[in-house]
A and B are shown apart, each in its own frame.
Chain A
Amino acid sequence: MLDQLNRLEGEALAALETVKESDALAEWDRSYLGKKGALTLLLRAVGDLPKEERPAFGRAANEAKVRLEAAYEARAEALRREEMVRELEQGTLDVTLPGRPAGPGHLHITTQTLRRIYAIFAEMGFQVYESPEVETDEMNFGLLNMPPHHPARDMWDTFWVSDEALLRTHTSPGQMRAMREYCPEPIRVILPGKCYRYEQITARSEHQFYQVEGLAVGRNITMADLITTLTEFARRYYGAERRVRIRGSYFPFTEPSIEVDVDCILCEGQGCRVCKYSGWLEIAGAGMVHPVVLQNGGYDPDVWSGFAFGPGVERPAMLKHSIDDIRLFYGNDLRFLRQF
């Protein structure tokens, strides 16, 4: 029996040498070490031996089994290694081929710009307040300190839909709506949306455009706060290195009124066609809410003060991305929209 065991072990080890793939290895395992494998059968035959020979055979057989199992493991490991090498050799791709098209679409550049503006002002506590696009003359002009025939009405060319209603020329009527809704709470809102002007469509002007009005009303709101807020916005939107210039200006619904410029990002303030060789780009009109407007909104100007500002939306995007034709925004050419 011991001879038989030795023979079997020698035969098994020899056979293992010839195994070249995992299927053959599993077959080898079955035929020698499996339930009905040769070694298993031999071990079962131990009962046929005389009693005194049994321990010695048993020990030898177990030792042989351990050796065969170790040999199996080693062989299996070698095979795995070979297979991995084969896989690595065969799996080389041309990494320069284009990838499989995966495709989210694109938000309109106006939406993206609005979201950036929302985010910057949200951090300063301003929330979004929406108001109608078709407005009354009273909201768009009258309550904003521009009674009928007020000369400042000339600043806005207006689309009229009736004697009393028009397409809002700016987001400022939203100021009045926000004040009347929230009075007597303090207010910090931005009012985004579409506005309309009776203007021929050219590379520089559109009859439809977006604006984001801002409004803060409180008991301690000052011009210095306004200047700080807009400077902060300009630097957050256009870059921390930007210089900001505040100029006196005129709007009927603010007093004092200012305009905000940043140094031209196209020429770095040296002067170019876009900034009309001034080195500055106007980004927003602003000012302290006129006492008449505060009053119309329900706030006592002796107690309350406020500021308002109105940056455009297309213009910042145009400057940031060197877009030279505003018609691209609402022409919706996918070759344009997909760039953002």
Chain B
Amino acid sequence: MRVPLSWLKDYVDITIPISELAERLTLAGLEVETIQYIGQPEAELPWDPKRVVVGEIRAVHFHPNADRLVLAEVDYGGAERETVVAGPPSLLDLRGQEDVHLKVAFAMEGTSLYDGYAEGWQIKTLKQATIRGVSSRCMVCSEKELGLADRHGDIIYLPEDAPVGAPLVEYLGDAVLEFDIKGPFGHVLSVFGVAREVAALLNVPLRRDALQVLDRHPSDLTPAPDFLTLEIADPDLCPRYSAALIQGIEVGSSPFWMQMRLRRAGMRPINNIVDVTNYVMLELGQPLHAFDYYILRAKPGEDRPAIIVRRAQPGEQMETLDGTLRTFDGEMLLITDGGGPVAVAGVMGGLESEVTEDTTDVLLESANFDFISVRRTSRLLGLASDASQRFGRRVDPELTVKAAARAAHLMAGLAGGSVVPVVGDVYPGQQPQRVIPFDPAYATRILGVQVPTEEMARILTSLEFQVQPATDPETDLPIFQVTVPSHRQDVERPVDLVEEVGRIWGYDRFPTTLMRDELPPQRTNHRLEGAERVRDLLVGCGLNEIITYSLVNLEDEGKLRLGGPASDPDDYLHVLNPLSAERDVLRQTLLPSALHTVRDNLRFVDRVFLFEIGAVYLPVRGQTLPDELRRLCIVMTGPREARSWMAGQDRALVDFYDLKGVVEALLAGLKLDGAFEPGTHPALHPGRCARVSVAGRGVGVMGELHPLVRDGFDLPAQSVCVLEFDLDGLLFDWGVSYRMAPLSVHPPVYEDLAVVVEEDVPAVRVHDLIAQTGGALVRSVVLFDVYRGAQVGGGKKSLAYRLTYQADDRTLTDREVAKLRGKIVRRLEREVGATLRS
């Protein structure tokens, strides 16, 4: 919403600089986004008060050497008239006239102006020039040259009463405040509404003349005027409908001042009738509509036009002012006449009943509509207007007749004609005045600042609340009875009044206070801490954290199900209004997005080691909300070590065991014991896939990507190691306290043990047998060599372990160690058919 300061000053005196006013309004909740200065010193192009003035063309002469140019003699308040070369078509016909009185914007040599002929906004300095043989050092300006319009057109003609010689900035300069108003606050969507806030903020009086036209021109308010049949068939959607008749008007242009204000407020002038409806809407916030009275039809058997406000019949149609044929549903409210729809209530008028050049009598609609209904209709028709935007944020129902009187008399004044002193007014939705008991102590309790009671009363009164001292019936303490003015449709409860006090008092005046309240019970967040621990451990392993989109597409998830059935759309939660088909379901696995991330990154880096922790969304039958399960996903691909100059760097590609190392580090960091078993997964290499469990609970799979899946995600032909775990399963046993293991002071004995077993004996079996048999005395069992080849025979492998024997309470003797070792070897022979490799 744009509010010209010059207009605002009609209702309130502004005693502080504009920038300060904008700041005060912003702090009070009326956010001023920009201030556009016109001609004033802060503008990009200030109008020099001495060199840009009101001038008057007194004579127009032929240019001796040019047909399309004239010589204009201008009185600018100086001792002599100045003759300038000018070229506007509007002056050509006046050539030879000696008694001209045209007020213009006159610029003198040395001043800066925008270049009227250049693209965009270029500032030039006005210099003496000889144009087709005639010297000229001043000019009459177009709107573009002054920065008033972006198109170079005719020169500006000022009203006759413009004072010759006055600085133009005083006459035409302005500042326009552009607001971003949030919330359903129809009461500030007008110049007057802003003025009311300014009056409260600056503690200055508010001039209400514009609202008091009806008092000066008394009219009868009647539901049955003799010029109109007026019916509200659906009062639930139309609390009030008022209509005024203006007869004998002549449609033409509206005056300069009105056009200027409309344009500064962001509207295009059309004609004096439409302009008045817009002007009063901008001024008071009441949308108005002008019908051509003689086009409105009567009901059968009646001789006067009818206005019937009713819901549309489903499928009913009408062409709106913008030339589009609209079709309505049964919940949309229409304004109809005796023959059919003439307007979409509160949204837009119909083309047929529009005011034209030939209109002589205008029926002015000033009505109030249910804000939810207007919003709905506007949204469904895809049709937003200045009217629908105001109605959609609630308009004061008391305003209809006041605004109608204001507009009707403006029309009569500008377009001739007379206002019929009877106003049609049907008001089925009249609400009783709202009275709210307001305890100043409650305001203090909520705000935490002691605003003086009389200041609270002043603030509320200045916003047009009526404040009466009263006594609280329960506590017998003094309170206020506050009557809510009809324009404050948003105020329902005491706390709404607290907000008025707070924002006008000024949040910048609030003291710094620490919460005095009791501290709530403190709880640890085990769930969050577990995830954060996992993140830290994985980052420590060299992985980078990613966060991808929760919205994915089924095709990507399907790429993981090699050869299996396609993903069943019914198993997924769909977005009913997706932004694109790319992202229309909620994911059930983190892998596809992680693989896309890998592919994208491999264009720039050779090692991509990453992880994500995030939710997957599993719909549950009979449940409104899905289960949101946290998952952990890891992908690693590329050379094991970053490229460097060092000898012995390991540039081999990472494989299953690199990923397993990360998992082992993760489990160790979480103090969890994991078990790895050969597994299968459609997306994984059948021989390089492990199912992982923790404390007997399966937590997920890991492995190398199947080559076909790799191709499906456009990944290069190299091992891509992936993992997806159920994070909550993984962390199920995390966080139990544990004790440190004692550090033995007795010397350890180290011994290597190499055994040959069949290829199909899992290494973990051998390891576990050694560890179990060795018991507490075998402190560690580290596999340091795996050998296959001629020395051990086909189908077999040799596993070499380094064992550390140690006791807490004594130095182990060679005999003890030898005995234990023998026991281990015999167990291995017996259980896995191992033979000792010598």
Contact = CB atoms under 8 A, between A and B. Distances in A.
B625 A255 contact: no
A334 B599 CA distance: 11
Given A159-B577, A208-B550, A334 B624 contact: no
A40 interface: no
B445 A222 contact: yes
A179 B541 CA distance: 39
Contacts of B522: 125, 127
A132 B628 contact: yes
Nearest to B540: A104
B510 A246 contact: yes
Interface stretch (A28-36, A65-73, A180-188): A180-188
Nearest to A255: B495
Contacts of B644: 98, 100-101
Contacts of B34: 276-277
Given A106-B539, A247-B507, A288-B495, A337 B576 contact: no
Contacts of B543: 105
Given A105-B538, A149-B375, A159-B577, A130 B546 contact: no
A338 B544 contact: yes
B475 interface: no
Given A185-B520, A290-B495, A162 B26 contact: no
B514 interface: yes
Contacts of B477: none
B623 to A, nearest CB: 10
B375 A151 contact: yes
Interface string A168-211: 00000000000000100111100000101011110000011000
A208 B549 contact: yes
Interface string B522-558: 1101011000100100111111111111110000000
A155 interface: yes
B510 A220 contact: no
Interface in B539-590: 539-551, 573-579, 583, 586
Most chain A CB atoms below 10 A, which of B29, B447, B448, B577:
B448
Given A108-B547, A288-B446, A334-B605, A221 B515 contact: yes
Contact of A106 (B447, B516, B545): B545
B833 to A, nearest CB: 43
A224 B182 contact: no
A245 B510 CA distance: 11
A163 to B, nearest CB: 9
Interface residues of B, number: 93
A186 B517 CA distance: 8
A134 B539 contact: no
A107 interface: yes
B10 interface: no
Contacts of B375: 149, 151, 154
A250 B182 contact: yes
Contacts, number: 259
B739 to A, nearest CB: 29
B577 A216 contact: no
B499 A248 contact: yes
A305 B609 contact: no
Given A100-B646, A149-B376, A165-B625, A245 B523 contact: no
Nearest to B518: A186
A interface, size bucket: 35 or more
A128 interface: yes
A99 B502 CA distance: 60
Given A107-B535, A152-B184, A222-B447, A248 B507 contact: yes
A89 to B, nearest CB: 23
B639 to A, nearest CB: 11
Contact of B517 (A108, A115, A220, A276): A220
B508 A246 contact: yes
B579 A198 contact: yes
Contacts of A188: 519-520
A134 B446 contact: no
Contacts of B512: 224, 227-228, 231
B493 interface: yes
A218 B628 CA distance: 31
Contact of B499 (A106, A129, A199, A256): A256
B835 interface: no
Closest 4 CB pairs of A and B: A222-B448, A248-B29, A250-B183, A224-B448
20 contacts: A133-B628, A134-B625, A159-B578, A188-B519, A196-B551, A200-B579, A221-B517, A225-B516, A227-B507, A247-B29, A248-B28, A249-B183, A251-B183, A255-B495, A255-B498, A276-B34, A288-B446, A305-B446, A332-B546, A334-B605
Given A152-B184, A255-B493, A333-B601, 7 more contacts: A110-B547, A162-B576, A196-B551, A200-B579, A208-B551, A252-B183, A330-B549
